[in-house]
A and B are shown apart, each in its own frame.
Chain A
């Protein structure tokens, strides 16, 4: 299960947080934990360089994309390697939506489309689509090209 996807700006303010199967009372804890993790480790990290951490039996893969940081949290079959795949799909799709590495402003301008993109990638905690071209078409309600 992919437990959470979280986007924050460079100051640690939340831009998007989506949880799956995480009780409401634990969400705040996760939010602060992830933001602190980013504050401690993301300085000077190259765009899309993946960092990894584990907290109890849960794995976290996170990275920087332009002005925003992206975190995905998973457990069981979504270990660090599967999450690396998930975050790769997310970052390429977000870049695709924004047309380049997002600034915070650009990210917020494209907010609606980014929500649709995330919806196409993750279905209630499961990875559903991985190809950025297909995702782009899905967001526009167009069928994939390759069939």
Chain B
């Protein structure tokens, strides 16, 4: 921070007479407050003391309970004074002190007297204070006065009562709801602010009554609303009504659209923005509806006021996420904002441009961003890095310039979070764009040569150990890795030793040289580094000769620990030192699924190094390990695909169950992840009874029950089916959870001996064609398409019938096939009447498939589609057509 955060008075000896609060001390001011008890009150003096007390409180000073009580009692004495200025101070002071319930009683009568006073301003202030310190019982006593106050002809009194109502609605809703007639009357008030407060309160009272809100909006949109603030509220409530109204899909006659559009011409900027935002957020907004809103927002982009520019670019940034094409018209204005002095505006402009730009504008954009990056804070840089990552995944052909940009900013100054964001991005690009791998790895290598963050160095070394040996020339990475052994701390040195060992294991020609390096590590001064070196020298075997490394050694080096770390940790904690050694085989292998709340968290972000299991390949690895450890499934062969978990129960039911479909060549295994959410129950012998009568080609071959399912400790049960080999059989399965339930004594946590058998109906589950397709992208679709044999191409045309929109039809086909959209073609520009979508994937039997879909609107809603498939096997091309024909 640039300036020290000291209190105003702690410095400045040289300007002794500068501040009226110089040398102020809480203790002294509390002493001074005794003046409140004088029989002859001096209002001026008392006001000064209250000001000092407020000064202390406004600087974050706190009073102890005893101090606050003392001051509060003293302040109540001031009600005796008739001085108006002092009375105003007293009101503020009581609110600031927020006395406790047993103290409030002292001032209640004084305040109630003021509340019924003939002086309007006493009334308004007394209402504000009473409502701040009151509880439910007192509120019923003063309710009558509050209701009167709401319709008081003095707008200050009415506003005080209404705003109090907004606060009290949180604590005493049933009382405030009784005031709706008065509030309704206040909505018609001629005083602008009374109308604003009344509208806010009335909406809060009636927010769950859809009809009432609809009526409120209908009447107010016809009449005139006096203040811009109230008009903004009305626009918000109107969008809520539009959202909830049923017939909002038909373009053209959307209710209240004309009102919103009319607000775009309001004289207050605040109203114009609110209306523009409301329009851009309409469900399924058409470009005809969107255009006027975008036009006004575009005008604000060049406003002289930063707040308006920020508001405009923030709104357009949001629009760009859903309707990138609609925002492209603003790109020129947006580009000039890259140099905006306000960094929030510049960052929003850049991230918007990155979303709306096309492939040809990438290079120009990157040039502009480079100049901008050096003078913004890390938090903005992270946003830009994330936007660049998405852009690179959208236009993989541009990986060279984008990767260069990332590596350049990696060399510049920056904090941990920022560097981690860049490294994560590079790792994700290496994973998803094969062409970017070698250059990406070299950038990472250069980074660890001068990296101050141990965490990042070790993570990169680990990643290098996995990816480096698979490159065309693994030897070039060795220097960077071995440098770490000389130059870094023990943690990084240990990581480097492990990485070296991985190179030795995977690249036989490098093995002798790696041995030499590892032997040098035997003399390291850290025992972990020495231990690792010794371990790897012994495990790799061959004494440094060029020999092939055994599979078991590779498994040891590269395989993951096939037991969950949490389970291992628990077992180790429970292990009591004895003659019997700890047996790793005693650790349970069942994976605990995530807690429910976490699992449902929206907005999954792609993760880089930080959380390796999140990526699809590693999840499959974990599942493969789990399944192969179960003897019944051990001979099913290689796991082709595991689906994302499908929920079979509603949220917040007694038992939460989801299922993962594991597809093998000749088998399908359903993994039911179960959670028992009732603390008083223990479930035992949990199985799922599957009825496969609507899945003719499937025959149940094995079932693995879950022995015990205690509260909040997830477990799995499995059911396996045989199906014809290599055939993408589909079917529907109904599921019933069956178990023995035992009561648990909550005080001891012990379960009763006897249990009762019970069943619980789960939702149905389907195996669909998309389950037999792996989402695997290609970086250059055209090249991939051209190199695939044209003889295996199958083309046909389909009528998809009437559809909600072209985009909806495109999405439906993508989901039906379960393939990876390429080059951002899954996004359908607004208003287009035709669209081409490119998909790629790997079909069961490891057959590469490419699909080119051409959509066209035939008449107002009917969608026609031309499907061209190329694959390595013509039978698969036919199968894709069959999926579409029967879907």
Contacts of A144 in B (CB 8 A): 154-156
Contacts of B306 in A (CB 8 A): 49-52
Interface residues of A in 101-147 (CB under 8 A from B): 104-105, 108-109, 111-112, 115-116, 119, 123-124, 126-131, 134, 138-144, 147
A and B contact pairs by CB, cutoff 8 A, 12 listed: A13-B6, A14-B8, A50-B305, A52-B345, A77-B233, A80-B314, A81-B269, A108-B8, A111-B51, A123-B128, A140-B85, A141-B84
- Are A50's CB and B89's CB within 8 A? no
Which of B88, B95, B155, B191 has most A Cβ within 10 Å?
Answer: B88
**Is B87 interfacial (CB 8 A cutoff)?**
yes
Known: A41-B342, A128-B163. A141 touches B58 (CB 8 A): no
Kindly state the separation between the CA atoms of A131 and B446 in the bound complex, as whole angstroms.
61
**Is A36 interfacial (CB 8 A cutoff)?**
yes
- Are B156's CB and A35's CB within 8 A? no
Contacts of B59 in A (CB 8 A): 14-17
Contact of A108 (CB < 8 Å), options: B1, B21, B87, B128 = B21
- The minimal Cβ–Cβ distance linking A145 to chain B, given in whole angstroms, is 11
- Are B191's CB and A112's CB within 8 A? no
Contact of A141 (CB < 8 Å), options: B11, B121, B167 = B121
- Are A127's CB and B229's CB within 8 A? yes
- Are A54's CB and B344's CB within 8 A? yes
Contacts of A27 in B (CB 8 A): 60
- Are A147's CB and B153's CB within 8 A? yes
Interface residues of B in 613-651 (CB under 8 A from A): none
**New contact pairs (13) apart from A31-B5, A54-B310, CB-CB < 8 Å:** A12-B5, A15-B8, A17-B60, A32-B1, A79-B311, A108-B21, A115-B58, A116-B92, A123-B128, A123-B164, A128-B163, A141-B84, A147-B153
**Is B2 interfacial (CB 8 A cutoff)?**
yes
Contacts of B167 in A (CB 8 A): 123-124, 126
Kindly state the separation between the CA atoms of A13 and B155 in the bound complex, as whole angstroms.
37
Interface residues of A in 22-72 (CB under 8 A from B): 27-28, 31-32, 35-36, 39-41, 49-54, 61
Contacts of A130 in B (CB 8 A): 193, 229
Kindly state the separation between the CA atoms of A116 and B155 in the bound complex, as whole angstroms.
19
- The minimal Cβ–Cβ distance linking A90 to chain B, given in whole angstroms, is 14
Kindly state the separation between the CA atoms of A96 and B64 in the bound complex, as whole angstroms.
35
**Is B603 interfacial (CB 8 A cutoff)?**
no
**Is B132 interfacial (CB 8 A cutoff)?**
yes
- The minimal Cβ–Cβ distance linking B46 to chain A, given in whole angstroms, is 11
Contacts of B120 in A (CB 8 A): 143
**Is A75 interfacial (CB 8 A cutoff)?**
no
- Are A80's CB and B18's CB within 8 A? no
- Are B20's CB and A12's CB within 8 A? no
What size tier do the contact residues of chain A reach?
35 or more
Residue of B nearest to A13 (CB): B8
**Is A18 interfacial (CB 8 A cutoff)?**
yes
Contact with A along B269-304 (1 / 0, CB 8 A): 110011000000000000000000000000000000
Using CB atoms and an 8 Å cutoff, list the residues of chain B in contact with chain A. 1-8, 11, 18-21, 47-48, 50-51, 54-55, 58-60, 84-85, 87-89, 91-92, 95, 119-122, 124-125, 128, 132, 153-156, 159-160, 163-164, 166-167, 191, 193, 197, 229, 232-233, 236, 269-270, 273-274, 305-307, 310-311, 314, 341-342, 344-345
Kindly state the separation between the CA atoms of A144 and B190 in the bound complex, as whole angstroms.
14
Contacts of A13 in B (CB 8 A): 3, 5-8, 11
Query: 8 closest pairs, A vs B, by CB?
Result: A12-B3, A112-B51, A39-B2, A141-B121, A52-B310, A16-B58, A81-B270, A141-B84
Kindly state the separation between the CA atoms of A28 and B5 in the bound complex, as whole angstroms.
10
- Are A40's CB and B2's CB within 8 A? yes
Contacts of A119 in B (CB 8 A): 91-92, 95
Known: A81-B311, A139-B88, A141-B88. A14 touches B154 (CB 8 A): no
Contacts of A143 in B (CB 8 A): 120-121, 154, 156
**Is A91 interfacial (CB 8 A cutoff)?**
no
- Are A142's CB and B307's CB within 8 A? no
Kindly state the separation between the CA atoms of A119 and B21 in the bound complex, as whole angstroms.
21
- Are B125's CB and A141's CB within 8 A? yes
- Are A9's CB and B8's CB within 8 A? yes
Contacts of A35 in B (CB 8 A): 1-3, 5
Contacts of B314 in A (CB 8 A): 54, 80
Kindly state the separation between the CA atoms of A17 and B342 in the bound complex, as whole angstroms.
24
- The minimal Cβ–Cβ distance linking A80 to chain B, given in whole angstroms, is 5
**Is A84 interfacial (CB 8 A cutoff)?**
yes
Kindly state the separation between the CA atoms of A85 and B270 in the bound complex, as whole angstroms.
9
Residue of A nearest to B273 (CB): A81
Contacts of B269 in A (CB 8 A): 81
Kindly state the separation between the CA atoms of A16 and B1 in the bound complex, as whole angstroms.
19
- Are A134's CB and B5's CB within 8 A? no
Kindly state the separation between the CA atoms of A82 and B54 in the bound complex, as whole angstroms.
27
Contacts of A116 in B (CB 8 A): 88-89, 92
Contact of B60 (CB < 8 Å), options: A12, A31, A142 = A31
- The minimal Cβ–Cβ distance linking A46 to chain B, given in whole angstroms, is 11
- The minimal Cβ–Cβ distance linking A17 to chain B, given in whole angstroms, is 6
Residue of B nearest to A122 (CB): B163
Which of A27, A41, A119 has most B Cβ within 10 Å?
Answer: A119
Residue of A nearest to B6 (CB): A13
- The minimal Cβ–Cβ distance linking A59 to chain B, given in whole angstroms, is 9
Which of A41, A80, A140 has most B Cβ within 10 Å?
Answer: A80
- Are A50's CB and B307's CB within 8 A? yes
- Are A124's CB and B132's CB within 8 A? yes
- Are A80's CB and B310's CB within 8 A? yes
- Are B5's CB and A14's CB within 8 A? yes
Kindly state the separation between the CA atoms of A12 and B7 in the bound complex, as whole angstroms.
10
Contacts of B153 in A (CB 8 A): 147
- The minimal Cβ–Cβ distance linking B592 to chain A, given in whole angstroms, is 31
Residue of A nearest to B232 (CB): A82
Kindly state the separation between the CA atoms of A105 and B12 in the bound complex, as whole angstroms.
13
- Are A115's CB and B54's CB within 8 A? yes
Known: A17-B60, A139-B88, A143-B120. A80 touches B311 (CB 8 A): yes
Kindly state the separation between the CA atoms of A12 and B274 in the bound complex, as whole angstroms.
34
Kindly state the separation between the CA atoms of A86 and B307 in the bound complex, as whole angstroms.
13
Kindly state the separation between the CA atoms of A106 and B193 in the bound complex, as whole angstroms.
31
- Are B229's CB and A111's CB within 8 A? no
Contacts of B95 in A (CB 8 A): 119
- Are B51's CB and A115's CB within 8 A? yes
- The minimal Cβ–Cβ distance linking A41 to chain B, given in whole angstroms, is 7
Contact of A61 (CB < 8 Å), options: B89, B125, B270, B307 = B307
Known: A31-B60, A40-B2. A134 touches B92 (CB 8 A): no
Contact with B along A87-100 (1 / 0, CB 8 A): 00000000000000
Contacts of B132 in A (CB 8 A): 124
Residue of B nearest to A16 (CB): B58
- Are B163's CB and A81's CB within 8 A? no
- The minimal Cβ–Cβ distance linking A32 to chain B, given in whole angstroms, is 5
- The minimal Cβ–Cβ distance linking A109 to chain B, given in whole angstroms, is 6
Which of A51, A85, A115, A144 has most B Cβ within 10 Å?
Answer: A115
Kindly state the separation between the CA atoms of A89 and B547 in the bound complex, as whole angstroms.
80
Contacts of A32 in B (CB 8 A): 1, 5
